[in-house]
């Protein structure tokens, strides 16, 4: 299986901050990567697919980049509703794997 | 309204089985595939397997091969996941998630808590 790692595991930030989360794959996955946001007690919500495509309805402050083995999710100006846990997911092979998550909390 | 509605919480004994359902509405059921993803308390997301609602093709995670069965009922637009030989570490929230063929998940159910306890 392809292993996914994320850094940092926890990120403390303030409203208005620019936030960057990194996701790395154990082998090249081209651009077959998605990002999800999950709030406590809720299902994950798709933010980005194919590494950089914004899902319909997702605010434009979210953006994704990268290819191969290294990817980033950026929130350009953190809003109160963005405090959550973020997961990357590879879908290069039919044994999908998620990163361990990055929790963004209030500084 | 486009949504996935999952069955209610379950409490099971070790060694028993559980079946969770996921009913789709608001779109053409057979145009999509479904994955099941679980999340143990305080933990991350774990993919269990995928089934096509169009032709019934299936891919199971090796971690669950032999213990899980996924099926669809196109007459009711419902997907089912059965997990057998339950253990305490199967205690988790189980989610169904829709994919449009590109294998990322654009619609999720609210989750079903399965508790395995003696």
| Sign of the CA dihedral running A101, A80, B109, A51 | negative
Q: Which residues of A touch B (CB under 8 A)?
A: 1, 32, 34, 36, 42-46, 49-50, 55, 87, 89, 91, 94-101
**Helix or strand (DSSP H, E) at A105:** strand A102-106
Burial class (CB in 10 A: 0-12, 13-18, 19+), B38: buried
> Taking CB atoms and an 8 Å cut-off, how many pairs form between chains A and B?
58
What integer pLDDT is reported at residue B87 of this predicted model?
98
Q: What is the pLDDT along chain B (118 residues), one digit of tens a residue?
A: 999 999 999 999 999 999 999 999 999 999 999 999 999 999 999 999 999 999 999 999 999 999 999 999 999 999 999 999 999 999 999 999 999 777 899 999 999 999 999 9
Average pLDDT in chain A: 97
pLDDT of residue A66: 98
């Amino acid at each position: 299986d392809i292993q996914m790692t994320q850094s940092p595991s926890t990120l403390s930030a303030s409203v208005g901050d620019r936030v960057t989360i990194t996701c790395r794959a154990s082998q090249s996955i081209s651009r077959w990567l998605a990002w999800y946001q999950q709030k406590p007690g809720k299902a994950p919500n798709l933010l980005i697919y194919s590494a950089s495509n914004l899902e319909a309805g997702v605010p434009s402050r979210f953006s994704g980049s990268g290819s191969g083995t290294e990817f980033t999710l950026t929130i350009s100006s953190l809003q109160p509703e963005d405090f959550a846990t973020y997961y990357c997911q590879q879908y290069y092979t039919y044994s999908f794997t998620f990163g361990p998550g990055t929790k963004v909390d209030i500084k | 309204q486009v949504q996935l509605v999952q069955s209610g919480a379950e409490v099971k004994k070790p060694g028993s089985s559980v079946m969770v359902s996921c009913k789709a509405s608001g779109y053409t059921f057979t145009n999509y595939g479904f994955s099941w993803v679980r999340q143990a308390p305080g933990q991350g997301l774990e993919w269990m397997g995928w089934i096509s609602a169009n032709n019934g093709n299936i891919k199971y995670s090796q971690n669950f091969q032999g213990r899980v069965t996924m099926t669809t009922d196109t007459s009711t637009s419902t997907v089912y996941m059965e997990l057998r030989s339950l253990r305490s570490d199967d205690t988790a929230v189980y989610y169904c998630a829709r994919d449009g063929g590109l294998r990322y998940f654009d619609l999720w159910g609210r989750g079903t808590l399965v508790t395995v306890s003696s």
